[in-house]
Amino acid sequence: MPAMKKTKVGQVLSNKMHKTVVVRVEAYRHHSVYKKTIRNVVKYKAHDEKNECAIGDRVRIVETRPLSREKRWRVSEILVKAAAIEVKPEEIEPKLIKAEPKVEVEPVAAAPVEDK
Separation of alpha carbons 57 and 55, rounded Å: 6
Domain 7-83: which CATH class?
Answer: mainly beta
Could you tell me what percent of the chain has a pLDDT over 90?
66
The torsion defined by the Cα of 59, 47, 84 and 39, in degrees rounded to 10, comes to 50
Domain ranges for the chain, please list them.
Answer: 7-83
> How far apart are the C-alpha atoms of 19 and 113, rounded to whole Å?
73
What pLDDT, on a 0 to 100 scale, did the predictor assign at position 15? 95
Query: Which range, of 17-26, 64-73, 105-114, averages the lowest pLDDT?
Result: 105-114
Task: Answer whether 0.75 is exceeded by the pTM.
Answer: no
- Under the banding of pLDDT at 50, 70 and 90, the label for residue 100 is low
